[in-house]
Amino acid sequence: MPGESGEETESRALERARREEAARAALTPLADDERPTPLLVAVAVSVALGVAVLVGALSVHDLARRGGSLPGALFIAALLALLARGMYARRYWAVLGFEALLAFQILVTSLALVVASTIAAAAVCVASVGLGGWLFWKLVRVMGRIQAGEQRDRPPAG
């Protein structure tokens, strides 16, 4: 901040570090077979999207003329299946990857809202942003709990 001394900046950083450490300590790791509802919703969404991409690619005639490709659709479907499997196994990387896709979806749908030409299209965009944002927010805590369990399982460094 302009006009702050080095001591004020340092004390602010220390206070933030204390709050972050307290927040981490408050997270309880996931139990052995625990899968929170937002995680299961994310798995179901990933599976449904993968199946939809696959069915869409296989049922559209002359896919290449419409700007798509079967290998591309197979890649996306396989990626979504991999993410679903990883999330079900409670892997941090899978939840993080799905969150990245959710963030992209939220951004693109927000931009689509700007050019929506009907009220129905605008409503779909708003619903998509709202539901995607809700799932994104809920998965942040799940990621923290997964990471808390991974950090507690590691042997101390040194």
Give per-residue pLDDT as tens, 4-55: 667 778 888 889 888 888 877 778 888 888 999 999 999 999 999 999 999 9
Question: Which has the closest alpha carbon to 92: 39, 44, 134?
Answer: 39
Q: What percent of the chain has pLDDT over 70?
A: 91
Domain count, the chain: 1
Question: Which has the closest alpha carbon to 95: 108, 83, 111, 78?
Answer: 83
For the cut 90, the answer to whether the pLDDT of residue 155 exceeds it is no
Give per-residue pLDDT as tens, 120-131: 999 999 999 999
Residue 27 lies in a domain: no
Helices (H), 27-69: 37-59
Give per-residue pLDDT as tens, 73-99: 999 999 999 999 999 999 999 999 999
Specify the pLDDT at position 3.
60
61: containing domain: 34-153
Question: Which has the closest alpha carbon to 76: 106, 55, 103?
Answer: 55
Question: Which has the closest alpha carbon to 136: 92, 104, 89, 93?
Answer: 104
Residue 12 lies in a domain: no
Residue 9 lies in a domain: no
From CA 58, how far away is CA 68, in angstroms rounded?
A: 11
The SS3 call for residue 103 is helix
Residue 90 lies in a domain: yes
For the cut 80, the answer to whether the pLDDT of residue 71 exceeds it is yes
As a whole number, mean pLDDT of residues 117-142 equals: 96
Residue 13 lies in a domain: no
For the cut 70, the answer to whether the pLDDT of residue 144 exceeds it is yes
